[in-house]
Amino acid sequence: MSTRRLDTGELELGGGLEVLVAAALEGMAAGERLEVLTPSRSTALELPGWARIAGHEVVGERTPAGGPYAVQIARGPFARFLAEPLPERGSGLPLRSGELHTADLRPAADVPPAVEAAAGFAPLGAIAERGSPPFRWGLNERDAIWADDVGDLAEQASAAQWDASRDIPWEAACGLPDFMERAVSQVMTFIAQNEYAALYVPARFLVDINPRYPEMLMWLASHVHDEARHVEVFTKRSLIGGQPSYALASTELSLRTLLDEHDFSGAALLLNVLGEGTFLDLLRFVERHAPDAATRSAATLAHRDERRHVHFGISHIRRRLAADPDEKAALVGAAERRAAKLTEMSGLSPLLTEGLTVMAAGSLQPAELGEGAVAVRELIQTMEGNRIRRLRAAGFDRRTAKHLSDLHTPNLM
Amino acid sequence: MRRSATELRVGAVAYHPRVVTIWELFLDYFVREGVSIDYILYSNYDRLVEAVLAGDVEIGWNTNTAFVALEQELGSEARILGMRDVDATFATVIVTRRGETFDEVRELAGRRLALGSRDSGHAAILPLHYLGEQGLDAASECELVRFDTDLGKHGDTGDSELRVIQAVARGEADAGALGDATLATFRAGRVPAVADLEVAWRSPTYCHCNFTSLPSLDDGLAERWQRALLAMRYDAPGMRHPMDLEGVKRWLRGDRAGYASLAAAMRNKSPVA
């Protein structure tokens, strides 16, 4: 049997020698021999103990005249890890003008349709060692959670992060007249209240996602982070002028029913497509009628994030319906179940309507208030029209889209 | 089935909380292999040896010191039912501070030699024995610095050996004896005290722990136990954890010859005297 030779220079055990020897032995077959050459008698005396603990065996030691000490180690029969050997180095990941995109982590065809529910946290591409403790993930099937552009969406979310402390011209919000501050504060409080639900819904699913779908984790984590920032920015805006507002019980009721939806696709329909979709129009309205640049800026930045969330919802539902048309009934069922719990709600909350009307009017003058009321009426119509359009984009037929839109909560989210 | 109705009771010493984990998982393994065992833990090896001799347990997981003491008490050969791969070629090393090594053991005469627990085969009894064979009566010619911190556990805790290397590193001893496996473990754990120590001497190899039974143990039962033990696979996912905790990758049959020097060292002499 041939013996490989390893000159270890001045290295000692505990000082890097063990790394060099272990790396050499790693690539050898059981029983193959490695002759370690060291000028140190101490190291030569210590190597047998190291080898034995590492599962190898010293089969010979000699001190050639004038030469270094030579310790022959036979590689032990055991792999250091309970996993197959690492594959040969491959071609790696493609770059786009020097950028490494999340969507390029793996080809779409390599995303497995189902993964082991007991899988652990082995990162994408890693060889998982056997014998790790079993986990119990709840979301282990691609079609139940996936969107074809989830990698791109996660990518966009990372690129579009903003800072609710520094990116808003907060000074612009100071000094509004009382009636306007009260209106804005109420609208901001309402939005912040809803953003909580938009945070908790994806957060609950996030911890159930199988780690073998890391793109989904990145996406949902960004979603949760976005919503935390929305809670932050709208809370800050509601408080900056010193005017507290009401958190309405009817809003709580509506949001509570969102948390009752335990199916991922059902929640994506109710939250992303219907709720956040409707909020897109609300945020546009706030942006257009904001009395100050801070409020406007908060609405603009939040709108940019919500657009991503709505896009995900549409993309996921469309994929889900295309893969399994029978899913339609389950999705409609989710909307109907929720609507059944909200039968006592009718119309927008008067407080929210008043706040929006004052914002659109810009004053308490009768003529302008009349115009404000018209703007709010138009907003409701725009919301409905856009909701149907989004539902159609998600793959529902015209009648179902109308039905789902009609079922949607008067709370908007 | 009632646990008290098992075929074999295995005694071991609880030198660390991990011993419970090891034996719970080994117990499951043996039961899967068709050998119903239970384990009984003792706080020290004197009790374990007494338990084997009294028939309270059929098998004892003994240190080399405990095995030799048991045979000396028995007055005849006990049965060795297996040992770890690391037990087969154990050695003691003597370390010094870097640059203060020695070529001949005689150079230790008049120096301070740190030893682990006096009932530890590898950290006290055998180094004295082998140094004697090589011409140094360390007990009379050296100033012995003893660390008897885990008496009864025969050095299993590693605590006395940690004190040995700390004493040498701090200059409170000129040389110190410890198990070569313990030194490797300290190196792997980056224990600061070993960083500036070097190995000056290594003893001949000897055997360390083994599973011991009285000669009267039923042959068929002994064989079934040993077959199951030797079949334990380090590559089996459920076994790597307890085997790593026990420091074994492969079980061997055991070799009586590896205890001759310790038996000679302990002949007519209590290990703790």
Residue B90 per-residue DSSP state = B
Is there a contact between A48 and B200 if contact means CB atoms under 8 Å apart? Answer: no
Task: From B98, B48, B54, select the one nearest B200 (Cα to Cα).
Answer: B98
Q: Is the pLDDT of residue A343 over 90?
A: no
Q: Give Cβ neighbours of residue A147 (< 8 Å, ≥ 6 apart).
A: A153, A219, A312, A315, A316, A319
Beta-carbon separation of B180 and A82 below 8 A: no
Cβ–Cβ contact A118 with B under 8 A: no
Does A53 contact chain B (CB < 8 Å)?
yes
Residue B25 and residue B101 share a domain: no
Closest C-alpha among A266, A57, A240 to residue A165: A240
Superfamily of domain A142-407: Ribonucleotide Reductase, subunit A (1.10.620.20)
pLDDT of the residue at A309: 98
Cβ pairs bridging A and B (under 8 Å): 72
Q: Is the pLDDT of residue A405 over 80?
A: yes
Position A344 scores a pLDDT of 80
Are residues B148 and B184 both part of a single domain? Answer: yes
DSSP of A39-53: S-HHHHHHHHHHHHH
Q: Which domain holds residue B166?
A: 91-202
**B271 belongs to a structural domain:** no
| pLDDT score recorded for residue A291 | 98
**Which residues from B are below 8 Å from A18, CB to CB?**
187-188
Going by C-alpha positions, the residue among A205, A67, A87, A63 that lies closest to residue A146 is A205
Query: Which of B202, B219, B254 corresponds to the end of one domain?
Result: B202
What is the percent of chain A where pLDDT is above 90? 91
- d(CA A321, CA A326) in angstroms, rounded, equals 7
- pLDDT score at A1: 62
- B128 and B33 in one domain? no
Residues A307-314, mean pLDDT to the nearest whole number: 98
Query: Within this chain, do residues B95 and B184 fall inside the same structural domain, yes or no?
Result: yes
CATH for the stretch A3-74 = 3.30.110.40
Same domain as B177, residue B109: yes
Contact B60, B49 (CB under 8 A): yes
Write down the pLDDT at residue A282.
98
- The model's pLDDT over A149-177, given as tens digits with 9 standing for 90+, comes to 999 999 999 999 999 999 999 999 999 99
Residue A141 is given by DSSP the state B
Q: Do B71 and B122 belong together in one domain?
A: no
pLDDT of residue A124: 95
A52 and B CB contact within 8 Å: yes
Amino acid in the structure at residue A307 = R
Q: Is residue B220 part of a domain?
A: yes
Helix H or strand E encompassing B10: strand B8-13
Round to whole Å and give the CA distance between B143 and B110. 7
Average pLDDT estimate for A139-146: 97
State chain A's mean pLDDT as an integer: 95
CA atoms of A303 and A297, how far apart (whole Å)? 10
Q: In B16-78, which ranges are E strands? A: 37-42, 59-62
Asked if A69 reaches chain B (Cβ–Cβ under 8 Å), the answer is: no
* Structural domain includes residue B273: no
Cα separation, B113 vs B141, whole angstroms: 10
Sheet holding B112-115, edge to edge: B143-146, B112-115, B175-179, B92-97, B197-202
Tokens standing for A70?
């030579």
Kindly give, in sequence order, each residue whose CB lies less than 8 Å from that of residue B143, ignoring residues fewer than 6 positions away: B110, B111, B112, B113
Domain count, chain B: 2
Q: Could you tell me if B96 and B145 lie in one domain?
A: yes
Instruction: Please tell me whether residues B100 and B182 are part of one structural domain.
Output: yes
A78 touches chain B (CB under 8 A): yes
Longest dimension (CA), chain B: 62
B272 within some domain:
no
Cα(B66)–Cα(B68) distance, integer angstroms:
6
Rg of chain A taking only CA atoms, in angstroms:
31
Q: Is A59 on the interface with B (CB under 8 A)?
A: no
Partner-chain residue, chosen from A18, A53, A78, that has the shortest CB–CB distance to B86: A53
CATH number at residue B241: 3.40.190.10
Identify the closest residue of chain A to B187 by CA–CA distance: A14
Torsion (CA) B244, B250, B253, B257 in degrees, nearest 10: -80
Query: B157 and B248 in one domain?
Result: no
**CA atoms of B119 and B151, how far apart (whole Å):** 6
Q: Is the pLDDT of residue A108 over 70?
A: yes
Sorted by sequence, the CB contacts under 8 Å of residue B47 that are 6+ apart come out as none
Q: Which band of pLDDT confidence, cut at 50, 70 and 90, is reported for residue A223?
A: very high
Quick one: which of A368, A350, A348 has its CA closest to A359?
A: A368
Chain A nearest CA to B246, separation (Å): 11
> Of B202, B227, B254, which closes a domain?
B202
The reported pLDDT for the residue numbered B273 is 44
SS3 content of chain A, % helix, strand, coil (to 5): 55, 5, 35
At residue A373, the pLDDT reads 96
- In the prediction, which pLDDT does B5 show? 73
Determine the distance in angstroms separating the CA of A80 from the nearest CA of chain B, rounded to an integer: 10
Q: What is the mean pLDDT of residues A48-56?
A: 95
Q: Taking the model in full, what pTM does it have? A: 0.82
Distance CA A6, CA A37 (A): 6
Q: Please name the residues between 141 and 170 in chain A that touch chain B, using a CB distance below 8 Å.
A: none
In a shared domain, residues B12 and B112: no
What is the residue type of A259?
L
A347: left (phi over 0), alpha (psi -120 to 50) or beta: left
pLDDT tens for the 273 residues of chain B, in order: 566 678 999 999 999 999 999 999 999 999 999 999 999 999 999 999 999 999 999 999 999 999 999 999 999 999 999 999 999 999 999 999 999 999 999 999 999 999 999 999 999 999 999 999 999 999 999 999 999 998 999 988 899 999 999 999 999 999 999 999 999 999 999 999 999 999 999 999 999 999 999 999 999 999 999 999 999 999 998 899 999 999 999 999 998 999 999 999 998 565 554
- Clarify whether residues B124 and B225 are in a common domain: no
Quote the pLDDT of residue A239.
97
A77 in reach of chain B (CB within 8 A): yes
Residues of B with CB under 8 A from a CB of A: 85-86, 89, 91, 93, 101, 179-181, 183-185, 187-188, 190, 194-195, 198-202, 234-235, 237-238, 240-241, 247, 249-250
Cα dihedral sign for A51, A53, A56, A58?
positive
Which candidate, B27, B18, B14, B48, places its Cα nearest to that of B211? B48
ipTM, two decimals, is 0.91
Question: What is the structure's pLDDT at A109?
Answer: 93
Residue with tokens 């490695």: A34
Domain ranges for chain A: 3-74, 142-407
Radius of gyration of chain B from its Cα atoms, rounded to whole angstroms: 19
Domain shared by B141 and B238, yes or no: no
Name chain B contacts of A59, Cβ cutoff 8 Å: none
Taking the C-alpha atoms of residue B19 and residue B12, their distance in angstroms, rounded to an integer, is 8
CB contact under 8 A, B181 and A53: yes
